[in-house]
Structure formats: structure tokens, C-alpha cells
Amino acid sequence: MAFKDARRTINYGFQNESFKFKVSELSGEDINLCFQCGGCSSGCPLAEEMDFLPSKIVRMIQLGREEALDSETIWVCSTCFNCEVRCPRGIDVANIMEALRQLKLRKKYSHVSLDSLEKSKIRTLPQIAIISNQRKLSA
């Protein structure tokens, strides 16, 4: 599993204050607290699958950059809370990822559709897998 594109750079122009506010409100997290230590990214078990590292996503929100919503990262996060226990500033990055997913899901975007899954597979999967998957990734 090679790092996909995790060194993608972000655009530093400040863009959209209301986007930053929305994410703060939905996540309940003070985005300004992050000082970019990268602890969340270094502990993230799924970082290698992400296009932007979790800490970069937080930076993008600080800068009001809505392209955070189009990142793969928010769908790759498995809400394992490794970032939450590591953050020295007390930010729960998993909450931020959830807020970004919710902003997409509430506009009827589904990342995984139940119809796309094979019936035989659905029969063997534990229910908790299917329900949590759909709760997190489907509108």
C-alpha cells in the first residue's frame, strides 16, 4: 500500500468563512486550535489510503477551502478515534471528518449505495458492518 497522493499541496488562499463556520458548528470542534503538529496524521491507520492527510484537511478548513469536501479522505476515515486520543490540542478530528461527510450526505450524495453490493455478500456480512457502513457513507 503506497502513499496514494498524500503529499498533495493545498491552496493557501483564504476562501470561505461560512464553510469554516459550518464545519465548526456541525463538529462542535474549535478548528482554530489546530497548530499543525501532524499527530493525527501520523497515528491514522488509514493515512496511506487518503489523498489529503487528516491534518491537511483541518488546515484546509482553517483556510475555508471547500475542496476538503471533495477529498477521498473523508470517506476513507473509519472513525477509529486514534486521532482523537493523540491530539495535543484536544480536537476530535473524527468529529470534523463526520461534519464534512454530513455536509455531503445531507445533499443526498451517497458514497456507497446498498444496491451496488452483491446480495451473496450482504448475507455473509455481520449486520453491524452493513448498518455502520450505510450510516457513515450513504445519504
Partner 1 sequence: MRLAYYPGCTLKTNAKSFEISAIASAKVLGVELVELTRWNCCGTVHALAKDDVMHYIAPIRNLIRVEEMRDEGIVDENILVTLCEMCFNTLKRANTEVLKDGEKMRKVRENMEERDPAYRGEVEIKHFLEVVKDIGWNNISNLVIKKLKGLRIIPYYGCLLLRPRGLGIDDPDNPTILESLIKSLGGESVEIPFKSKCCGSYHTVHMEQVASELSHRILSQAAEAEADLIMLTCPLCSYNLGDRQEEIKKSFKGLRTIPVVYFTQLMALAFNLPAESTGFSENKPDPTVILKNKDLL
What percent of the residues of the chain are helix, what percent strand, and what percent coil, each to the nearest 5? Answer: 55, 0, 40
Q: Which of 33, 37, 129, 139 binds partner 1 (CB under 8 A)?
A: 129
x-or-dash pattern for partner 1, window 25-54, by CB under 8 A?
A: xxxx----------------xx--x-----
CB of 79 closer than 8 Å to CB of 136:
yes
Q: Which of 33, 37, 125, 139 binds partner 1 (CB under 8 A)?
A: 125
x-or-dash pattern for partner 1, window 95-114, by CB under 8 A?
A: x--xx--x---------x--
Contacts of 13 (CB under 8 A, 6+ apart): 63, 65
Give the CA dihedral 118, 139, 91, 52, nearest 10 degrees: 60
Give 7's strand partners: 52
Choose the binding region for partner 1 from 2-10, 13-21, 57-65, 131-139 (rule: CB under 8 A). Answer: 131-139
- Considering the complex, what minimum distance in angstroms separates the CB of residue 126 from partner 1? 4
**Other residues' Cβ atoms within 10 Å of the Cβ of residue 119:** 6
Q: Which residues bind partner 1 (CB under 8 A)?
A: 1, 25-28, 45-46, 49, 76, 78-82, 84-85, 92, 94-95, 98-99, 102, 112, 116-117, 121, 124-133, 135-137
